[in-house]
Amino acid sequence: MAPHSTARLQQTAPLLLLAIVVLGGALRFYRIGEQSLWLDEAFSVWLARHPLQEMLGWVVKIDQHPPLYYTILHFWVSVFGDGASTVRALSALLGTVTIPVIYLIGCRLADGDRATGLLAATTLALSPFHVRFAQEARMYTLLTLNAALAAYALVRLMSDSPATASPAQQPADPRCPDSAAEAGQESHRHHRASALVRSLLPSPGRCLAWLGYIFFTVATLLSHNTAVFFTIATNIFILGMLWLRRHPDYLHLPSTRNWLLAQGGVFLLWSPWLAAFVSQSLGVYREFWIPPPDLPRVLGALAALLSDFLPYRLWIMWVAFGFLIVCGASYFRRRPAYLVLLLVLVVTPFAGELLVSLFRPIFYDRTLIWASLPLYLLLAAGIRRLRTWLWMPVALLTIVAANGISLREYYVRFEKEQWDDAAAFVAQRIEANDVILFNATWVQLPFDYYFRSYHRQVKEHGVPVDLFDRGVLEPKMTEDDLPRLRALVQGHDRVWLVYSHNWYTDPMGLIPATLDEEMERLGDWQFHGLQVYLYGPHRQR
């Protein structure tokens, strides 16, 4: 890039970044409340409505996630309310704030090159995967933001020199040429004293970087339990580089002592959650719904991070993504340590989740969302590697076009569970002596979220048990639960069954089969993600 172009970019970068952030925010808030809250989102809102201590108790007892997001959502709901648009706005806001953070990381890794930072921010702003989860009342954008801030603090630690230039290196005062020797001696004594002070007290900026790394690493761990792979990744990189003992001049690694002290600080701050983490992990180990990963699932997760919803038939765009990632690796040829850092941050969570999945499957694309950030940085570096003003716009337009197609697919075709329509349908037809049954027990949460606004007084029960009575999030229906089901329908003229996620909680179809024996099916209606059945007394023939 020509010097005058670089100077012009330095001046316009803040305005360009602001435009990118506004665009990313607009995409995240666009049509944010148009679709119904789905099962997991309704669970988030249900938890957030509880008093804080009671909410934390439920998180430990029945959930598999840490409490940070639910705690923030608790206070958010208490101020702004719990409408669908409102609760999702928290995620959209967190996702938008992440855009300038990746810009800062990109600038740091590229030795102050703002073009790389702007390209990384653009890639994140347009990411369909991030837009999707910015429109969901779950913890994934919080996880990404905290991981990004922790990564930025780490990059600051590695790119900032621990000490400033010594006074001895400063030129003597030209107004006093006769005192040069005396000034030199005084400067030398001052340098020795200041060096001693600097050895004991790091610079304020470095102190802030250390505190930022510790604080946001803990926040990352408290955003999602799989974020342990973030700390594993950073330790693999730093300890690996320290073990090599020789590192390039541009890399200012912390001492082994300081790094281990920081890890101790992270563990100390996170340790109050340790017992709950172990309890939740054991619960996941005993039983969890995620299927074992295979090659298509792994490749699908990688494709989702790059450009979710992009049709596979557009293979040329997938080739372009791969080419730019290779170019991004080449961009860091003079700073290979930064390339290693990015690769470790991508590979570690993938490999870690796959390794754990050998014992209990946990591999899930959304839990890998923070691993998309180093991928986007590589894409940005790849575009920057092309250098010329001919090929850089072509590469950028390719990314924009691919994500534009994906975003259109998301806005037009992606559909969440239709709990609002199902609740309205039942509310319009419910009668006084009816009862509503729910399989999987917690499907009652999204239904009631919308059903409550109709003020219908009707009995509701979960099958096999009422909501969380067993202290299990998704208890499975067995034949031992059939007597209770038969008892629940006694004395009611009509029975409604709201049936969803039955592939996991009622795989043998025991609930509708039993109701078909006890009563006559009067109708069944399909909504996206769920079914509604209506049963009544057998008709005399």
Q: What is the pLDDT of residues 23-51, one digit of tens each?
A: 999 999 999 999 999 999 999 999 999 99
Q: Residue 337 pLDDT more than 80?
A: yes
Q: Residue 197 pLDDT more than 90?
A: no
Q: Residue 239 pLDDT more than 50?
A: yes
pLDDT in tens, 505-519: 999 999 999 999 999
Task: Give dist(CA 152, CA 330) in Å, integer.
Answer: 22
pLDDT in tens, 282-303: 989 988 889 999 999 999 999 9
pLDDT of residue 160: 83
Task: Give dist(CA 410, CA 129) in Å, integer.
Answer: 9
Q: Residue 176 pLDDT more than 50?
A: no
- For the chain, the average pLDDT equals 90
Q: Residue 175 pLDDT more than 90?
A: no
Q: How distant is the alpha carbon of residue 13 from its chain centre?
A: 27
For 535, what's the count of Cα atoms within 13 Å in the CB-facing half-sphere?
24
pLDDT of residue 494: 96
Q: How distant is the alpha carbon of residue 14 from its chain centre?
A: 26
Give percent of the chain above pLDDT 90.
79
pLDDT of residue 342: 98
Q: Which two tokens stand for residue 313?
A: 């038939």
Give percent of the chain above pLDDT 70.
91
pLDDT of residue 199: 46
Q: Residue 471 pLDDT more than 80?
A: no
Three-state DSSP class for 390?
coil
| CA–CA–CA angle 163, 165, 169 (5° rounding) | 150
Task: Give dist(CA 400, CA 420) in Å, integer.
Answer: 34
C-beta separation of 256 from 242 below 8 A: yes
pLDDT of residue 492: 92
pLDDT in tens, 419-445: 999 999 999 999 989 999 999 778 999
Q: What is the DSSP letter of 345?
A: H
Q: In three state form, how does the secondary structure of 239-281 look?
A: HHHHHHCCCCCCCCCCCHHHHHHHHHHHHHHHHHHHHHHHHHH
pLDDT of residue 180: 43
pLDDT band at 384 (very low <50, low <70, confident <90, very high): very high
List the chain domain ranges: 3-162+201-413, 419-536
- Beta-bridge mates of residue 495: 435, 535
Q: Residue 272 pLDDT more than 60?
A: yes
pLDDT band at 167 (very low <50, low <70, confident <90, very high): very low
Q: Give the closest residue to 496 by CA, choosing from 435, 538, 428, 420.
A: 435
Q: Where are the beta strands (DSSP E) in 113-155?
A: none
C-beta separation of 407 from 26 below 8 A: no
pLDDT of residue 181: 47
pLDDT band at 204 (very low <50, low <70, confident <90, very high): confident
Residue whose token pair is 């944010």: 32
Task: Give dist(CA 32, CA 83) in Å, integer.
Answer: 11
pLDDT in tens, 183-193: 455 555 555 55
Q: What is the pTM of this model?
A: 0.91
More confident residue, 165 or 73: 73
